[in-house]
Amino acid sequence: MKFVDEFRDAELGQAVAGEILSLVEPGRHYKLMEVCGGHTHSIYKYGVDDLLPVNVELVHGPGCPVCVIPMGRVDDGIALAQIDGVIFTCFGDMMRVPGSDGSLLDAKAQGADVRMVYSPLDALRIAKQNPEREVIFFAIGFETTAPSTALTLKRARAEGVSNFTCMCSHVTIVPPLRALLESPDLRLDGFIGPGHVSTIVGARPFEFIPADYGKPVVIAGFEPLDILQAIAMILRQLAAGASSVENQYTRVVPYEGNRRALEVMAEVFELRPHFEWRGLGFISHSGLKLSDAYADLDAERRFGVPGVRVADPKACQCGEVLKGVIKPWECKVFGTACTPERPIGTCMVSSEGACAAYYNFGRFAREREVV
Amino acid sequence: MSTPPISDREQKILGIIETARGKRARFRDEQITMSHGAGGKATQTLIEGLFVPAFGGAALAQMADAGAVELGDGPGIALTTDSYVVKPLRFPGGSIGELAVNGTVNDLAVAGARPIALSLSLILEEGLASDVLRAEVDAIAAAASAAGVEIVAGDTKVVEKGHADGMYICTAGVGRRDRRATLSPSGLQPGDRILLSGPIGEHGTAIMLARDEFELDATVESDTCSLWPAVDALLDAAGPHLRCMRDATRGGVASVLNELARASSVSMLVQEASIPVAPAVAGAAEILGIDPMYVANEGKLVAFVAPDGARQALAALTAVPGCEDAVEIGEVRTEPPGMVLVQTSFGGRRVMDQLVGDPLPRIC
């Protein structure tokens, strides 16, 4: 495919992999977190980690929007989906995420009208096609998807679509990063910054990471070559003892972000005082809800949700896995109570979560060599 | 350079995972969800955990696309059945009627049986326009004639409006088992070559685009066709070397490879760069975040051939009209048993796992 194949070129990949090898200090172990689930996906899809020396370890961060939704929030969604006459719409991945008693897919099998959509506009279209039904959109995602939800709500308002509401579970990227960085037992050396989120928020919000914590951040695109190049840039900073925010993804990310998108978000959303993350617990000012001006389009206010709080199982150590403190297999429930078929924590929910990945593919990472 | 040591505790955990993977899948779900029909992991738990234990004859336990029935001294027959619930009923390149013939014919063909006859059950929705039915009957007749099979029995049921989405079709097929090869899903040997009969992902993509849910403009036609000519050519050219064949329907090529890797306790290494994908299919998959390896085909087979017969088999396959783009995509290995690895075009290696969940329901 034009404009994409260049970034998937195996020869160029080998060249950057060689550069990475030359930047690695023998005997030193590097833990780099790719913050965004999109990066994790590319890393698996293209086998990027297979091209790294084994002492360069990638830790999958909290940036998988589906995995971070806590059980209670899934239960709330199911409660809305089960209201008579409601069409509940959500992204496909969200349907499999387990709540305390089954997933949205299970609710669908029991008769709830749960439909998969690819964008919030699809949900709005369903609302217009079914004026006699209430259509709820389960909005999830970071700053990447929040603007499209905001625009959809503005359009619903402008077109006077009265049977459309949104259950807002959008989250923001900086607070969980700060929470990770604040933990005294953190073992990360640098961050691959989230490219898509940064197209909206820009690079500036990540400046606190080098400034306050002395860790390099390189904002990266999503093609395998982007990721390898970002890793090389981080290693170069580490080798020089430097730390700053660099932008590998200049072809898309402006340093100041997308002002228009930020304005729309500011109009439609406001920060929740705190929001619960699966595996990470409550994090202040990390979630978005609809602003008072959009209260009438807020499913939680129109229907009321149980507001279920389901505590993460005590034995689950997703937080420690995310911080790089323990390996997936060191968690007490890994592979026994918590498996990909019956996941407990965020890291096992998505096939790209750190634990699910280790469960399925872990043995092969072992075949790489250490420098 | 050295491989890092594995601690005792990690070794123990890896042992637990290994044991869990090796176990026959158990069916523990409380209810049926759409993923039980998707051809991936959940379907497998249903088959291995419920159906096979309940009906458990030797022929079924083979879990081939068609079951073998012995008749006296002859090679016997192969029997298969399939139901078709595709939505919409008509799509570029085919229709439900055409699928109902080719899908069942192909299950017989890849089991190494020459398709002879089909039965046809129609479940029709009250209010279905007669023209729609007539068009499907014509499509069925044309596909049966092209595939050289006869419709020899049938049944019709009508259900209330709101059920069956226009129509569902069930066909059963019977074929004469061919003496030129002995095929078995558990017969794969390390070193066997993996052949693919052409570009992948066309049927699933055509259906997806025909549903008009994505506002993508692209012309992709379903690849629905009879695979018997391809199978016939393979049997002629490399019969004794053929280990197993599968048509890569729901769950795509990835699911076929995973099923057989498990059934034969072997691993496979697939070269991603060798797999043909039409640009429109690749583009749609890219946009929708779907891997074409998991997208359904209705006229593509995967054949596993002993190394000595691979060259002749591929030559014979590419000579069959419609299979000009057939290629060797990888080989069977020993370690790690039950797993499929992919050498990506980018140069890394990864595991290509079984499909979890359903990317696209009601594809056939």
* Tens-digit pLDDT profile for residues A96-114: 888 888 889 889 989 999 9
Map chain B to HEC letters: CECCCCCHHHHHHHHHHHHHHHCCCCCCCCCCCHHHHCCCHHHHHHHHHHHHHHHCCHHHHCCCCCEEECCCCCCCEEEEEEEECCCCCEECCEEHHHHHHHHHHHHHHHCCEEEEEEEEEEEEECCCCHHHHHHHHHHHHHHHHHHCCEEEEEEEEEECCCCCCCEEEEEEEEEEECCCCCCCCCCCCCCCEEEECCCCCHHHHHHHHHCCCCCCCCCCCCCCCCCHHHHHHHHHHHHHHEEEEEECCCCHHHHHHHHHHHHHCCEEEEEHHHCCCCHHHHHHHHHHCCCHHHCCCCCCEEEEECHHHHHHHHHHHHCCCCCCCCEEEEEEECCCCCCEEEECCCCCEEECCCCCCCCCCCCC
Q: Are residues A304 and A359 in the same domain?
A: no
Distance separating alpha carbons of residues A46 and A203, to the nearest angstrom: 26
Range in A182-186, A207-211, B207-211 with the lowest mean pLDDT: A182-186
Q: Are residues A148 and A252 in the same domain?
A: yes
Residue of B nearest to A94 (CA): B357
CB contact under 8 A, A50 and B350: yes
Name which of B12, B270, B344 to mutate to probe chain A: the one with the most chain A Cβ atoms within 10 A of its Cβ. Answer: B344
* Average of per-residue pLDDT values in chain B: 89
What confidence tens digit (pLDDT) does each residue in A137-150 have? 999 999 989 999 99
CB B261 within 8 A of CB B338: yes
pLDDT at A54: 83
Instruction: Write the CATH number of the domain with boundaries B193-351.
Output: 3.90.650.10
State whether residue A329 sits within 8 Å of chain B by CB: yes
Among A273, A297, A312, identify where a domain stops. A312
pLDDT at A1: 58
A 59-98 residues inside an 8 A Cβ radius of B: 92, 95-96
Q: Are residues A209 and A338 in the same domain?
A: no
Residue of B nearest to A123 (CA): B213
What confidence tens digit (pLDDT) does each residue in B269-319 have? 999 999 999 999 998 888 777 889 999 999 999 999 999 999 999 999 999
Report the CATH number at residue A96: 3.40.50.11740
Residue of B nearest to A102 (CA): B30
pLDDT at B360: 63
What's the token pair of residue B130?
């007669």
CB contact under 8 A, B10 and A54: no
How many Å is the Cα radius of gyration of chain A? 21
Q: Are residues A108 and A155 in the same domain?
A: yes
When CB atoms are compared, the residue of B2, B6, B351 closest to A364 is B351
pLDDT at B2: 42
State whether residue A50 sits within 8 Å of chain B by CB: yes
Q: Is residue B88 pLDDT above 80, yes or no?
A: yes
pLDDT at A342: 76
Residue A370 per-residue DSSP state: B
State whether residue A327 sits within 8 Å of chain B by CB: yes
A288: amino acid identity, one letter: L
pLDDT at A281: 84
Give the range of the structural domain holding residue A359, as residue numbers without chain letter.
318-364
Range in A93-97, B96-100, B175-179, B246-250 with the lowest mean pLDDT: A93-97
Q: Are residues A254 and A343 in the same domain?
A: no
Q: How many residues does chain B have?
A: 364
Q: Are residues A45 and A181 in the same domain?
A: yes
pTM of the entire predicted model: 0.83
Greater confidence (B126 vs B25) lies with: B126
Per-residue confidence band for A366, with pLDDT thresholds at 50, 70 and 90: very low
When CB atoms are compared, the residue of A92, A96, A363 closest to B14 is A363
Q: Is residue A369 part of a domain?
A: no
What confidence tens digit (pLDDT) does each residue in A193-225 have? 998 888 889 999 999 999 999 999 999 998 999
pLDDT at B245: 96
Q: Are residues A155 and A200 in the same domain?
A: yes
Instruction: Chain A: give the shortest CA distance to residue B2, in Å.
Output: 6
CB contact under 8 A, A46 and B344: yes
Q: Are residues A336 and A304 in the same domain?
A: no
Residue A241 per-residue DSSP state: T
Name which of A341, A355, A358, A367 to mutate to probe chain B: the one with the most chain B Cβ atoms within 10 A of its Cβ. Answer: A341
Among A312, A329, A354, identify where a domain stops. A312
Per-residue confidence band for A371, with pLDDT thresholds at 50, 70 and 90: very low
Domain count, chain A: 2
Q: Which residues of chain B form CATH 3.30.1330.10?
A: 66-177
Range in A2-11, A13-22, A317-326, B158-167 with the lowest mean pLDDT: A2-11
Q: Which residues of chain B form CATH 3.90.650.10?
A: 193-351
The CATH H-level superfamily of B66-177 is PurM-like, N-terminal domain (3.30.1330.10)
What's the average model confidence in pLDDT over A2-17?
79
Q: Is residue B21 pLDDT above 80, yes or no?
A: no
| B-chain residues near A363 (CB < 8 A) | 14, 336
* Average of per-residue pLDDT values in chain A: 88
Per-residue confidence band for B216, with pLDDT thresholds at 50, 70 and 90: low
Report the share of chain A in percent with pLDDT over 90. Answer: 50
Range in A102-111, B204-213, B320-329 with the lowest mean pLDDT: B204-213
Residue of B nearest to A351 (CA): B356
CB contact under 8 A, A48 and B346: yes
Residue of A nearest to B345 (CA): A10
| B-chain residues near A8 (CB < 8 A) | 345-346
| A-chain residues near B343 (CB < 8 A) | 47
Q: Are residues A172 and A234 in the same domain?
A: yes
Q: Is residue B209 pLDDT above 60, yes or no?
A: yes
What confidence tens digit (pLDDT) does each residue in A302-350 have? 998 888 787 777 788 887 887 777 888 888 888 888 887 778 777 887 7
CB B242 within 8 A of CB B235: yes
3 state DSSP class of A94: helix
Q: Is residue A69 part of a domain?
A: yes
Residue A335 per-residue DSSP state: T
Pairing of strands B267-271, B340-343: parallel
Range in A232-246, A278-292, A321-335 with the lowest mean pLDDT: A321-335
Among A271, A288, A312, identify where a domain stops. A312
Range in A10-19, A345-354, B56-65 with the lowest mean pLDDT: A345-354
Q: Are residues A4 and A31 in the same domain?
A: yes
Q: Are residues A259 and A357 in the same domain?
A: no
What's the average model confidence in pLDDT over B22-46?
81
Range in A235-239, A256-260, B144-148, B268-272 with the lowest mean pLDDT: A256-260
Residue B331: what are its φ and ψ, rounded to 5°?
-145, 160
Q: How far is CA B132 from CA A204, B125, B136, B333, in A?
A: 60, 11, 6, 49
Q: Are residues A190 and A334 in the same domain?
A: no
Q: Is residue B1 pLDDT above 60, yes or no?
A: no
In the block, tokens 């100041």 appear at: A256
